[in-house]
Amino acid sequence: MQLIRTVSFPEPQLLADLSPLPEGLRGVVWDMQGEPDAAHGSIDGVILPYINAGAVLGNLDKVQDLKFVQTQSTGFDGVREAAGPGAAVANASGVHAAATAELAVGLILAKLRGIDQAVRDQATENWAPQRRQSLADRRVLLLGIGGIGQELARRLEPFEVTVTRVGSTERTDEHGQVHSSAQLETLARDHDILVSVLPLNDNTHHLVNEQVLAALPDGALVVNVGRGPVIDTDALTAEVVSGRLQCALDVVDPEPLPKGHPLWSTDNALITPHVGGNASAFEPRILKLLKRQLEALAAGETPANLVQQGPFQQASSQQVSSPQGASA
């Protein structure tokens, strides 16, 4: 049974890129700024904008009979609440995994090898060679074992590191042992690098807290390419500004980081402006996903990546499980 017949697109180009739509679907353009145009008629499904979707989520309640919401990001914090329990919500799990994993590796290498400092030295024509840490032989504590976590672990393997994976519960999967997040403080004591690719939810908020950060060895590197509030910013700032820890962050809390914040001015921090998934791989991959989703909706089938069932009662357990890992 076809539940979705009219889908809104956040901008005309996205609708054009996906046209012609599958038979039985109608596309309209709604940028989610204020009320939908009366000419749109009844909207059943909404594709959220990629950039700053959180700023317009409140306008989902202006759709009278909302049945489906599709994000263009892996993270979906706040979307289920804004859509309401009667609407299905799907995320873009898989679209951003490669690009976000790439950036994580880049941030690790840049901070360990002092590339950020070399850029500052170049601006002053300062030749200042130092012996710095290699990535080889480092012990990496990876928080998040979903799509992004898998891609990152795969990319780290050739660097001759030891990777310890942490998920919500302790178990063994096809890649080996997964430790529980309850063990995080104990695990932190024996690792040189902590990388978070976790989504934000009640269980992950400030999971990396003052106690976990204090347990890390002196000089350890904290990397976050998931969601900012997973790490306690105040606790991290204190450790980094003191010089005991280093950090490389693509996501922060609050975001953007306010002007004058101590992390901007300390040499121990490397900050990128939430660009993990915003790379050349994004457009072809999001179009491929959206095309599949629209085809499923037109055929009356359950779309992929559901994080809230809504009216799709036949969603598989794989589709309704929370996707692990978050990106832009």
Known catalytic residues?
A: 227, 255, 274
Phi, psi of 89 (to 5 degrees): -130, 130
- In 65-110, DSSP assigns E strands to 68-70, 88-90
How is residue 302 annotated by DSSP? P
Three-class SS of residue 177?
strand
- Give yes or no for a contact between 191 and 179, defined as CB atoms under 8 angstroms apart: no
Three-state DSSP string of 116-134: HHHHHHHHCCCCCCCCCCC
Burial of 231 (0-12, 13-18, 19+ CB in 10 A): buried
Hey, what's the torsion of the CAs at 47, 52, 55, 58, to 10 degrees?
20
Angle at 145 between CA 139 and CA 150, to 5 degrees: 80
Q: Tokens standing for 294?
A: 């629209």
